[in-house]
């Protein structure tokens, strides 16, 4: 019940494409869903986050879509650029908990 399943494991898109990364969770008590971006040699950094009271959130070229009934959420990167090449992690937590449960990560490569 504490797992977050992330797919795909890796993804290659052409510049300008729209990569989509999906996550599914089991614990219905989860109510905070962030995405983290990690470049080689760096720690993860918060990219965008959503709470279940909305179905979509946009920040620049990054969009989270959230489906509460299916217990799934996804990250879309519009007009992807080579600089977006990184590993992306989804995560989930309960609002009053101390613990972020992370997915296994997706390695994204955007070809120029």
Partner 1 sequence: ETGVTQTPRHLVMGMTNKKSLKCEQHLGHNAMYWYKQSAKKPLELMFVYSLEERVENNSVPSRFSPECPNSSHLFLHLHTLQPEDSALYLCASSQESGASYEQYFGPGTRLTVT
Query: Is 53 a residue that touches partner 1 (CB under 8 A)?
Result: no
Query: Is 99 a residue that touches partner 1 (CB under 8 A)?
Result: yes
Query: Is 42 a residue that touches partner 1 (CB under 8 A)?
Result: yes
DSSP bridge partners of 50: 33
Query: Is 1 a residue that touches partner 1 (CB under 8 A)?
Result: no
* Structure token pair of residue 32: 């905070």
Query: Is 32 a residue that touches partner 1 (CB under 8 A)?
Result: yes
Q: What angle do CA 55, 29, 101 make, to 5 degrees?
A: 90
Closer CB to partner 1, 32 or 62, in the complex: 32
Among 84, 86, 89, 108, binds partner 1 (CB under 8 A): 89
Residues that bind partner 1 (CB under 8 A): 4, 9, 32, 34, 41-46, 49, 89, 93-105
């Amino acid at each position: 019940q504490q797992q977050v399943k992330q797919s795909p494991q890796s993804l290659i898109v052409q510049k300008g494409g729209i990569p989509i990364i999906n996550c599914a969770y089991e614990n219905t008590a989860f109510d905070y869903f962030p995405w983290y971006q990690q470049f080689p040699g760096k720690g993860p950094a918060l990219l965008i986050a959503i709470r279940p009271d909305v179905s979509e959130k946009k920040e620049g070229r990054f969009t989270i879509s959230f489906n509460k009934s299916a217990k799934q959420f996804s990250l879309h990167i519009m007009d992807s650029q080579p600089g977006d090449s990184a590993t992306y992690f989804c995560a989930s937590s309960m609002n009053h908990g101390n613990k972020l449960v992370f997915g296994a990560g997706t390695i994204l490569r955007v070809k120029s």
